[in-house]
Structure 1
Amino acid sequence: MIIDIYQDTICPWCRIGKKNLFDAIAQWQGEPITVRYRSFFLDPNAPKEGYPFREAMAKIAGGPGGVDRILEHVTQAGERVGVPFRFDRVEYKPNTLLSHNLIKVTPEEQQTQMVDAIYRAYFEDGQDIGNLDVLVNIAKEQGFDPEAVRVEVANVSKQAEIEEDLNLAGELQITGVPFFVIDEKLALSGAHPAENFLKAFEQASLSEQE
């Protein structure tokens, strides 16, 4: 079974949804599951340097007063599934192109740990994951050659693969993430709980047997 996750690296609900998905995978007793990470941009027009975080959030929240309510809601949702958020440390809403490229240059069997490391750097440590030096350091901490990663990421070596993901998302009419596609048959939009993923696994497995 193959599950495609369309996600953006600054999307807190993507982090929560991914956690729920992997909780479901840990409980699943059926066929093996392979997870593939697909790129998506919540803000495809973000400048290279990104935006000040609270200023960007205020536009989404309809003003500064709504920002804390949104962040508290996300933080509590994360706590319920064991995923911490420290929005008090986040200063930027970055352009995520380079972070998606870092995921793409990571070998498939290590992409999950890289995605987790990027999420931690941003949501827990408040690091600017649009910054090349930050991404190179994340890769170094994950055991990769920092200079090789620097060249790959700086040159956006996986631009074609990223654009392919974006085109696929367009064909599927994906307008928000997280978005999960199971065996190219079933789709779930949003940070579903683990039990919903398990039901979807069962449905996909049964459809294969028919």
Structure 2
Amino acid sequence: MRLDVWSDVVCPWCYIGKRKLERALDRWDGEPVEVVWRPFELNPQLKSTGAAVREVLAGKLGSEAVAEQAMHRSTTAAESEGLRYEMSKAIAANTFDAHRLVSLAREQGVQHEVKERFFRAHFVEGENLGDPETLVRLAGQTGLTGAADALVDDALAARLRDELAEGVAIGVRSVPTYVVGNRGVAGAQDPDVILDLLRSAP
């Protein structure tokens, strides 16, 4: 069985959702599940140089006070999953290149490792996931090879754009979104919800 998870590496609820998914899979007693991480861009208009998450959120939500509330909610939810967010250090940047490496990682069998490394780098360590050198360094720590070449691979970029368009076409509007076959659920769902989705697979 294949479970597609549409997410972005700078989405706080996606990291939380990853932990909840892991707990669901620990309880799953059905056929083996192949988890495939699919791309979604929260802020495709951002440059690779990035900006403080607080600034970007304030611009989207209307004020710094509302942005602070949103960061507090996600940080508190993360703590319940054993994650310690350092949102004051987080940098919001264009994630297209990060998704390129997550896609390459699937081909090499280290997609989960790369996804986890990018999440931790963003939410805990304050790394800029829009910076190519940073991405290559982080990906190399997971055993991924060919990262630098992938970031200038036009064919890989074209496939990624097609995959991003696929997400839009099937109705992915928020992340994380979990999809099995033609059924899906959005949001950082509790393990029981994810297990119900898996059980609903034909």
In the alignment, residue 103 of structure 2 is paired with which amino acid? K
2:102 is aligned to: 103
In the alignment, residue 117 of structure 1 is paired with which amino acid? R
1:159 is aligned to: 157
1:140 is aligned to: 140
Change in CA separation of 1:48 and 1:155 when aligned onto 2, cut-off 3 Å: farther
Q: TM-score, normalised by structure 1?
A: 0.89
Q: Distance in 2 between matches of 1:144 and 1:171?
A: 30
In the alignment, residue 102 of structure 1 is paired with which amino acid? L
1:173 is aligned to: 171
Matched, 1:195 2:192: yes
Q: Distance in 1 between matches of 2:119 and 2:185?
A: 21
In the alignment, residue 165 of structure 1 is paired with which amino acid? E
Change in CA separation of 1:107 and 1:173 when aligned onto 2, cut-off 3 Å: closer
Q: Name the SS for the 1:82 alignment partner.
A: coil
- 1:157 offset after TM fit, Å? 5.0
Q: Distance in 2 between matches of 1:52 and 1:77?
A: 21
- 1:49 offset after TM fit, Å? 2.5
1:61 is aligned to: 61
Change in CA separation of 1:156 and 1:128 when aligned onto 2, cut-off 3 Å: farther
Q: CA RMSD in A?
A: 1.5
- 1:161 offset after TM fit, Å? 2.2
1:115 is aligned to: 115
- 1:110 offset after TM fit, Å? 1.1
Q: Distance in 2 between matches of 1:83 and 1:195?
A: 20
More deviation in 81-90 or 22-31? 81-90
Same amino acid, percent of matched pairs: 27
Please tell me whether the aligned partners of residues 8 and 14 of structure 2 are also in contact (alpha carbons under 8 angstroms).
yes
In the alignment, residue 151 of structure 1 is paired with which amino acid? D
Change in CA separation of 1:167 and 1:176 when aligned onto 2, cut-off 3 Å: same
2:18 is aligned to: 18
1:38 is aligned to: 38
1:28 is aligned to: 28
| Structure 2 gaps, min length 5 | none
Please tell me whether the aligned partners of residues 86 and 123 of structure 1 are also in contact (alpha carbons under 8 angstroms).
yes
Please tell me whether the aligned partners of residues 38 and 162 of structure 1 are also in contact (alpha carbons under 8 angstroms).
no
- 1:8 offset after TM fit, Å? 0.8
Q: Distance in 1 between matches of 2:52 and 2:88?
A: 13
Q: Distance in 2 between matches of 1:156 and 1:75?
A: 37
